[in-house]
Structure 1
Amino acid sequence: MSKSEQRSRPPRKEPEQVWTPRTKLGNLVATEKITTMKEIYENGYRIQEAGIIKKLLPGIKTEVIDVGIVQKQTTNGEYTRFKALVAAGDENGWLGIGQGKSKQMRIAIEKATNQAYLNVSPVKLGCGSWECRCDQHHSVPFKVRGRGGSVTVEVIPGPRGLGLVAGGNIRNLLKLAGLKDAWTKSTGSTNTMTSTSRAVLDCLRQTFSQG
């Protein structure tokens, strides 16, 4: 095969695996007896299958937030594993974050992605800005604060057109959750993405617990 033919070939897509429910909730979703995420949270069901999230939130996206190496000294020598942090959100009021570790980077990312699906939580969107006062769901309904480790993140409602005033990683998480306009404040070691992402998720969960 010539080099020009190789360049023109489309990228190979991995075949999508067919989801086979393994839990009672999974069967209810597969048979369409439960058709929305709202029903699951109102009834207090525990989600144990990523396929449930993929079916009920078909527009959900994932993003690798951070990757790294974990080294541990043992009697047999140095033990090295990869770790990955992944966020999952539909950009319309749902966000989850997961972490995975493995000897292979690809498997670590897969584990983190699966965990992110299982940790998806609702985010209440609204317009709590006194400068805007519209009825659209482009920001948070009121100021919220969350904490993860030594990191504290505060999200403040912003008027339409403001955009997301935040650092790159925090901005990406807020966008995945569905926010379009907001101010943010953060304290602590925000370079530690595990703590920062947990702080953001805890912060956005406050939109429901306080509302």
Structure 2
Amino acid sequence: MLALGRSFAKLSVIPAARITATRAYATVGDKKLRHPALNKDNVPDLSKVDYILDHPTEKPSTLEQQKTFTPHRPPEVVMNTVTDIIDTPLSAPEQARLMKKALVVKRVVNMNGKGKQPSMYALVVVGNGNGLAGYGEGKDEEAARAVRKATNRAIKNMRYFERYDNRTLPMDLTHKFHATTLELRARPPGFGIRTNHYVHEICKCIGFQDISAKVRGSTTPMNVIKAAFEALSNTKQPEDIARMRGKKLADVQHVYFGGN
């Protein structure tokens, strides 16, 4: 072969493209190619520059189009996107002014066919301090995203809780949730909030100022929080009790009807 007959000293000064072309010609001349239409005349001369193939035009012939599958994820695209402002009757400024309390943030493990799958669990209580409050739960691989999911669900689950004189309960309550028994008591003005620390945060979000509570049985944070919301949600107002008993409600302290 012509390329193999040269010495290594001579090959060092021959351009690489010329060596490739010489080998291609030698291969065509010595061996029988598989494709019958390919012969020595059809093999391109690699020692010469092809101005079409070797130098593509600077301007593409087609319009610039974004690739459907990008090689990497853009920084602005995040999986499971959760926004701070959600679709609720509350406006964006009102949502920003809400009190948000992440009462429970812990690591949990879910067992499935792939084995143990760890994730973060969060329970958040939100409220405006004026009778409107709610709680929500969220799970995600990251704690911050779990808290954000729980916050959004808490805002969606917000409801109004009636307060006697805008400071306390209308009556004492006792509620049982699974193994947790919660006792809530109405207190006179200036008493303050003397409760379990989880119930204390709930009362601050709702707007209670004078209240006491006692937790009996299981003190699991999730049970205590859910028991408090269920107890306050099932509270019967004095006018409801009077209607059931067929009595007339007299507003002696001018709390309900704003009398003089």
TM-score range, shorter chain: 0.5 to 0.7
Q: Which residue of 2 aligns with 1:168?
A: 197
Cα separation, partners in 2 of 1:103 and 1:177, compared to 1, 3 Å? same
Q: Which residue of 2 aligns with 1:53?
A: 90
Query: Number of residues paired by the alignment?
Result: 156
Cα separation, partners in 2 of 1:18 and 1:185, compared to 1, 3 Å? closer
Q: Kindly report which structure 2 residues correspond to 1:5-84, keeping only aligned pairs within 5 A, or say none.
A: 50-55=87-92, 57-58=94-95, 59-84=97-122
Q: Could you tell me how far apart the structure 1 residues matched to 2:177 and 2:141 are?
A: 26
Q: Which residue of 2 aligns with 1:117?
A: 155
CA deviations on 1:124-182 (whole Å, 9 max, x unpaired) are 111xxxxxxxxx32101112233333212121110111111112111111111110111
Q: Name the SS for the 1:109 alignment partner.
A: helix
Q: Could you tell me how far apart the structure 2 residues matched to 1:60 and 1:18 are?
A: 12
Cα separation, partners in 2 of 1:209 and 1:84, compared to 1, 3 Å? farther
Q: Kindly report which structure 2 residues correspond to 1:94-173, keeping only aligned pairs within 5 A, or say none.
A: 94-126=132-164, 136-173=165-202
Cα RMSD of the aligned pairs, angstroms, is: 2.3
Bigger relative contact order, structure 1 or 2 (CA pairs below 8 A, ≥6 apart) = 1
CA deviations on 1:62-114 (whole Å, 9 max, x unpaired) are 11001111112333332101000000111111110100001111111111101
1:204 equivalent to 2:232? Answer: yes
Gapped regions of structure 1 (runs ≥ 5): 1-16, 20-48, 127-135
Q: Could you tell me how far apart the structure 1 residues matched to 2:207 and 2:175 are?
A: 17
* Higher relative strand content: 1
Rg larger in structure? 2
Cα separation, partners in 2 of 1:18 and 1:67, compared to 1, 3 Å? closer
Cα separation, partners in 2 of 1:89 and 1:51, compared to 1, 3 Å? same
* AA aligned opposite 2:230: D
Q: Name the SS for the 2:169 alignment partner.
A: coil
Gapped regions of structure 2 (runs ≥ 5): 1-82, 241-260
- 8 Å contact from structure 2 (residues 126, 135) kept in 1: yes
Over 4 Å off, 4+ runs: 54-58, 208-211
Normalised by the length of structure 2, the TM-score is 0.55
- 8 Å contact from structure 2 (residues 168, 211) kept in 1: yes
